[in-house]
């Protein structure tokens, strides 16, 4: 199986956050809430195989935990791993699909572009190049090593 890896050139974006988001601390309560969102996400998607969401993934000092809220209820989260001051990886995203019309997969990504561009990052790496991500300005497929 081969994957196409992608990134977003943040210089080519001009988004503003459109969703209620908050940086979450790595408290047991927040970790458990994110794990519940992850479980709902995996059940909704009917993934045939699921990597457990270990609490340790939330404890890495180079990882930002961003929670997304609808009517003051946590409905999604992203783990963003900062490699340095210019490059970060959208490591994990999950949402409950409580209201699919919100399109949180794309709207949270736009919000993350706005957040990290304002923090002077150059790129957000996406790993797999899912089709819906091509909607994001600055989307690029990474080429092979030469």
Beta bridge partners of 89: 81, 125
End-to-end CA gap in the chain = 21
Q: Is the pTM value of this prediction over 0.95?
A: no
Question: Distance (Å, rounded) from C-alpha 145 to C-alpha 93?
Answer: 27
Predicted pLDDT of residue 1: 38
Q: Does 63 map to a domain?
A: yes
Encode the chain (146 residues) as per-residue pLDDT tens digits: 357 889 999 999 999 998 999 999 999 999 999 999 999 999 999 999 999 999 999 999 999 999 999 999 999 999 999 999 999 999 999 999 999 999 998 999 999 999 999 999 999 999 777 777 888 999 999 888 77
Residue 113 lies in a domain: yes
Domain that holds residue 111: 5-141
Read off the CATH number of the domain in which 117 is found. 3.40.630.30
Task: Check residue 2 and give its pLDDT.
Answer: 55
Q: What is the side-by-side strand order in the sheet with 73-82?
A: 20-23, 63-70, 73-82, 87-95, 123-128, 5-9, 139-141
> Could you tell me if residue 146 is inside a domain?
no
| Count of structural domains, the chain | 1
Residue 99 in domain: yes
Q: What is the CA radius of gyration of the chain?
A: 15
């Amino acid at each position: 199986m081969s994957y196409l890896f992608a990134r977003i050139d943040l210089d080519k974006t001009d988004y503003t956050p459109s969703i209620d988001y908050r940086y979450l601390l790595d408290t047991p309560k927040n970790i458990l809430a994110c794990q519940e969102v992850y479980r709902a996400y995996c059940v909704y998607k009917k993934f045939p195989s699921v990597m457990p969401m270990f609490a340790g993934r939330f404890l890495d000092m180079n990882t930002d935990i961003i929670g997304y809220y609808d009517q003051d209820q946590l409905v999604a989260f992203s783990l963003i791993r900062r490699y340095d001051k210019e490059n970060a990886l959208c490591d994990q995203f999950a949402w409950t699909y409580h209201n699919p019309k919100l399109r949180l997969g794309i709207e949270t990504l736009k919000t993350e572009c706005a957040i990290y561009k304002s923090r002077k990052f150059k790129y957000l790496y996406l790993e797999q190049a899912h089709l819906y991500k091509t909607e994001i300005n600055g989307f690029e497929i990474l080429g092979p090593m030469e």
